Structure 1
């Protein structure tokens, strides 16, 4: 089933592609397309993984740490063999982190960007790679939940280079929820 048909069946609203990156609330209706990238469904992702072993990039945010000094050991489940870059889909990203994202997305391999359904983070990250000139960007809008309906997930940790860059990168300014590109 095509992604457009699947979205229509669940009542998703058609949203126009913004010119820039989305800086509003990360959860909500997203465009059904992304200029310069290919939107893929479950079957296309399965074929791509079997045929090409693409770079799989999960841009889901980290769960917020609860208040207090209690031990906190969150688990993040994702598509096996994916690299988790929490925050890589923010609307505003420090230039050093943009460079790192484009480096992790190896240019001579297909790259699949995903997050959760109805999440702008994966759309933003895929758009960032398209704008950087990556030749084969695939956006898996069904995200982790789409994958886990058919396959097992794996516990992943934040990518070590990405986590290290958070410690040395100045925080990018956050746009307010009402801002639109």
Structure 2
């Protein structure tokens, strides 16, 4: 009887689709469910992220930067929207796209070298927001560059805030 009741509960529970890891990098839409894993990297949750943060492990935010639209009238005042990030994180903006421009590729390469002191065995945490393929792409690139202790914080700033409250700070774009 207990087995039948358990079977009924599991049958009624929604089944979440498993998102497979793509072979290459993921493009649009970037805001979509992500895999639970990333080959060559460790996937971490907010509690583990906080532990690593407290240990002084470098955090790399790859959230894209909002640029002034090209079609704005000349007399329009443009104010770049604020981006908030985890305290102490380095914001390597626009480095999580499927295809990177040479400038974006250089920003990621130089930025990772700076935060790790050039040590590819040094641990680092890469994040964006929840369900953001940009952090998955950037972490995959870091692994392909030879970094051996890449930690992908798949919940990013959303999970950080849900777990710790509104402990985010204004991000300043970095162009190493």
| TM-score bracket for this pair, using the shorter chain length | 0.7 to 0.9
Residue 76 (structure 2) pairs with residue 76 (structure 1): no
Offset, 1:11: 7.4
- The answer (yes or no) to whether the contact 1:37–1:137 under 8 Å persists in 2 is yes
- The answer (yes or no) to whether the contact 1:12–1:29 under 8 Å persists in 2 is no
Aligned to 1:63: 66
- The answer (yes or no) to whether the contact 1:13–1:29 under 8 Å persists in 2 is no
Change in CA separation of 1:10 and 1:148 when aligned onto 2, cut-off 3 Å: farther
Count, aligned residues? 152
Change in CA separation of 1:71 and 1:11 when aligned onto 2, cut-off 3 Å: farther
* Alpha-carbon distance in structure 1 between the residues aligned to 2:61 and 2:16: 22
* Alpha-carbon distance in structure 2 between the residues aligned to 1:12 and 1:148: 24
SS at match of 2:32: coil
SS at match of 2:24: coil
CA root-mean-square deviation: 2.2
* Alpha-carbon distance in structure 1 between the residues aligned to 2:66 and 2:32: 18
- Runs of 4+ with deviation above 6 angstroms: none
Offset, 1:96: 5.0
Aligned to 1:157: 172
* Alpha-carbon distance in structure 1 between the residues aligned to 2:14 and 2:126: 22
Change in CA separation of 1:65 and 1:54 when aligned onto 2, cut-off 3 Å: same
Kindly report which structure 2 residues correspond to 1:128-147, keeping only aligned pairs within 5 A, or say none. 128-147=141-160
* Structure whose CA Rg is larger: 2
TM-score (norm 2): 0.78
SS at match of 2:108: helix
Offset, 1:129: 0.4
